[in-house]
């Protein structure tokens, strides 16, 4: 039989590399085959999620950035300055976190989804048309964010005017100046040609891009123990691959951008310059609790405990 797996990026982006590794594992170790559907073949992120919930797709990669309305707790990934900047700590967090590997599994299950893996895609940078150093500089700047209520709150707290949009509207929106900025990891700024429509890349250190892979739950529950184990092992193999694949990826992507656009401006905010953005995190955390209540608080507490464990 053939299983269908859709994701939000192209085959050569991080989600595509992950999916290819998973496909290779499944096909080498079983008689099942996997059909991959990259971004653009089945619609936007919201569309592929619907198809996975309906069982038209067996697997879907959707980033929490688009899952916020469906699963409010998944917005925890958008509290700024929560995830570690250090790659090894970050990887260890994703591998060992109880919040991710147990608590979120229950939360996604309520929506008919078997959460199989969450993994980081790289440090988020903000690209804009004009440089900024302070929240004041962002006053009136329309920054596109994924369609996630907490991400909207973050950018309000950062002083900007957040504009939630599906991915397909971002390039054109920047080109026509409907928006003047966006945030994404560096590999995406390069591969999706964000550098063509924005002129300044700013490192604020406020987040790493998280994504999630899940299966349609009735499909997964109906599989034999062997097939379930096969899928879990394939996910582990893909996770191991993707975290190694990402070493130095941001730097390599920046070099490629500079080759194509030597005049690109790159600003790394100093720790002092980051402080007002860091201070905004408290406000965003309070909004998260407002939106998610006791369950959100419990996930956040577990999340922080898991972070502490890897940062010691």
16: closest CA among 40, 51, 32, 33?
A: 40
The residue range among 21-29, 78-86, 183-191, 278-286 that interacts with ligand 6CS, by the rule CB under 6 A, is: 183-191
What are the residues whose beta carbons fall under 8 Å from the beta carbon of 259, sequence distance 6 or more? none
Find the binding residues for ligand 6CS in span 223-282 (CB under 6 A).
Answer: none
Q: Measure CA 237 to chain center.
A: 19
The reply to whether 123 sits near ligand 6CS by the rule CB under 6 A is no
Give dist(CA 287, CA 93) in Å, integer. 24
Distance in Å, CB of 246 to ligand 6CS, minimum: 12
Number of chain residues interacting with ligand 6CS (CB under 6 A):
11
Dihedral sign for Cα 186, 9, 161, 175, please: positive
| Cβ atoms 8, 48 nearer than 8 A | yes
Name which position in 73, 103, 121, 306 contacts ligand 6CS (CB under 6 A).
121
DSSP 99: I
Name which position in 6, 8, 80, 216 contacts ligand 6CS (CB under 6 A).
8
Name which position in 60, 146, 200, 243 contacts ligand 6CS (CB under 6 A).
146
Give 51 or 63: the residue with its C-beta nearer to ligand 6CS: 63
Distance in Å, CB of 185 to ligand 6CS, minimum: 5
The residue range among 29-37, 47-55, 94-102, 182-190 that interacts with ligand 6CS, by the rule CB under 6 A, is: 182-190
Phi first, then psi: give them for residue 143, nearest 5 degrees: -110, 120
Each residue of 167-191: b (16+ CB within 10 Å) or e?
A: beebeebbeeeebbbbbbbbbbbbb
Give 167 or 220: the residue with its C-beta nearer to ligand 6CS: 167
The reply to whether 180 sits near ligand 6CS by the rule CB under 6 A is no
Give 45 or 292: the residue with its C-beta nearer to ligand 6CS: 45
The reply to whether 45 sits near ligand 6CS by the rule CB under 6 A is yes
Q: Is 312 helix (H, G, I), strand (E, B) or coil?
A: coil
What are the residues whose beta carbons fall under 8 Å from the beta carbon of 31, sequence distance 6 or more? none
The reply to whether 77 sits near ligand 6CS by the rule CB under 6 A is no
The residue range among 16-24, 102-110, 181-189, 232-240 that interacts with ligand 6CS, by the rule CB under 6 A, is: 181-189
| Cβ atoms 242, 17 nearer than 8 A | yes
The reply to whether 167 sits near ligand 6CS by the rule CB under 6 A is yes
Q: Measure CA 44 to chain center.
A: 15
Count of helix runs (H) and strand runs (E) in the chain = 14, 10
Name which position in 53, 117, 128, 184 contacts ligand 6CS (CB under 6 A).
184
Give dist(CA 149, CA 9) in Å, integer. 22
Give 117 or 184: the residue with its C-beta nearer to ligand 6CS: 184
Residues forming contacts to ligand 6CS in the complex (CB under 6 A) are 8-9, 45, 63, 121, 146, 167, 184-185, 188, 209
């Amino acid at each position: 039989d053939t299983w269908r797996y859709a994701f939000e990026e192209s085959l050569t982006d991080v989600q595509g590399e992950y999916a290819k590794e998973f496909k290779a594992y499944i096909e080498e170790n079983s008689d099942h085959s996997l059909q991959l559907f990259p971004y653009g073949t089945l619609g936007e992120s919201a569309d592929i999620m619907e198809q996975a919930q309906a069982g038209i797709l067996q697997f879907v990669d959707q980033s929490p950035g688009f899952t916020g309305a469906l699963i409010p707790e998944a917005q925890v990934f958008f509290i700024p300055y929560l995830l570690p900047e250090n790659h090894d700590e970050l990887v260890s967090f994703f591998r060992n976190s109880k919040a991710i590997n147990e608590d979120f599994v229950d939360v996604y299950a309520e929506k008919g989804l078997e959460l199989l893996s969450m993994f980081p895609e790289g440090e988020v940078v903000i690209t804009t048309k004009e440089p900024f150093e302070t929240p004041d500089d962002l006053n009136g700047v329309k920054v596109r964010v994924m369609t996630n209520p907490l991400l909207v709150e973050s950018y309000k707290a950062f002083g900007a005017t957040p504009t939630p949009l599906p991915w397909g509207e971002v390039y054109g929106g920047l080109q026509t100046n409907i928006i003047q900025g966006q945030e994404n990891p560096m590999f995406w700024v390069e591969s999706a040609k964000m550098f063509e429509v924005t002129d300044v890349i700013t490192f604020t250190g406020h987040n790493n891009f998280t994504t999630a892979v899940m299966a349609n739950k009735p499909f997964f529950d109906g599989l034999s123990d062997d097939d379930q184990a096969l899928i879990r092992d394939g996910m582990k193999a893909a996770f191991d691959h993707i975290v190694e694949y990402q070493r130095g990826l941001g730097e390599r992507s920046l070099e490629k951008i500079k080759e194509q656009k030597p005049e690109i401006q790159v600003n790394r905010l100093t720790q002092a310059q980051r402080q007002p953005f860091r201070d905004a995190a408290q406000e965003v955390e309070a909004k998260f609790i407002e939106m998610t209540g006791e369950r959100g608080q419990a996930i956040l507490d577990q999340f922080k405990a898991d972070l502490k464990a890897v940062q010691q």
